[in-house]
């Protein structure tokens, strides 16, 4: 059992804070091939599923609409669901009653705070001292790599991945903050903009 940290280990903590805040607030665009590689490992090794097509959309609202269209539109397929998503935002001519958006259980870079905890202890103590065997270590590393992506919606017939935000503003206390503009913003459809002042969500 690990009962205490050395001073050196305590002194290392700010480095992990900086590292994972950087990952959690990254606005870097996704590389398709890398995204497919990460998602395929996640599908097969974590979820125990077969590989299915991977679609990347601009934001979580677009991802949610695509997910729902597979239930709402019998003609929706991985090949046309993005086109149908744009039809929904272009006036919804098909009259779909879209359910209220929900977060996926796999949120990519937004899991940074959780990964920072595991990453710190793994690097400071090693898998063996933590009682983590090779199989579990391999699964953890696959899971941690999802932090390179945006939100992940693993459906049976495809996996829909959201891009990361295009804008994230933090104040000196590292909470969302921007006076007079969105503190967090995504590209794409749905006008996904969030306004915060010193960590408090406010109206536009």
Two tokens, residue 192: 């996904």
What residues does 106 pair with on adjacent strands? 152
How far, in Å, CA of 20 to CA of 114, rounded? 9
pLDDT tens, per residue, the chain with 204 residues = 788 999 999 999 999 999 999 999 999 999 999 999 999 999 999 999 999 999 999 999 999 999 999 999 999 999 999 999 999 999 999 999 999 998 898 999 999 999 999 999 999 999 999 999 999 999 999 999 999 999 999 999 999 999 999 999 999 999 999 999 999 999 999 999 999 999 999 999
Answering whether pTM is above 0.85, one says yes
Query: In the chain, where are the structural domains located?
Result: 7-65+97-164, 165-204
| Strand, helix or coil for residue 61 | helix
User: Is there a contact between 72 and 176 (Cβ–Cβ < 8 Å)?
Assistant: no
How far, in Å, CA of 68 to CA of 126, rounded? 42
Query: Sign of torsion, CA 98 103 105 107?
Result: positive
């Amino acid at each position: 059992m690990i009962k205490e940290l050395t001073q050196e280990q305590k002194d290392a903590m700010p480095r992990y804070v900086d590292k994972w805040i950087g990952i959690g607030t990254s606005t870097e665009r996704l590389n398709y091939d890398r995204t497919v590689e990460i998602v395929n490992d996640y599908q097969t090794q974590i979820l125990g599923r077969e590989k299915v097509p991977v679609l990347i959309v601009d934001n979580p609202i677009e991802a949610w609409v695509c997910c729902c269209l597979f239930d709402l539109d019998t003609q929706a397929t991985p090949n046309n669901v993005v086109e149908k998503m744009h039809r929904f935002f272009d006036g919804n001519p098909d009259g779909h009653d879209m359910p209220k958006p929900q977060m996926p259980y796999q949120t990519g870079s937004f899991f940074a705070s959780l990964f920072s905890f595991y990453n710190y202890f793994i690097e400071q103590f090693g898998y063996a001292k933590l009682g983590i065997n090779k199989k579990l270590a391999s699964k953890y590393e696959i899971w941690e790599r999802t932090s390179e992506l945006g939100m992940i919606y693993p459906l049976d017939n495809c996996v829909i991945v959201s891009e990361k935000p295009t804008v994230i503003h933090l104040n000196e206390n590292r909470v969302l903050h921007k006076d007079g503009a969105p503190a967090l913003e995504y590209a794409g459809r749905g006008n996904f903009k969030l306004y915060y002042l010193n960590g408090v969500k406010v109206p536009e």
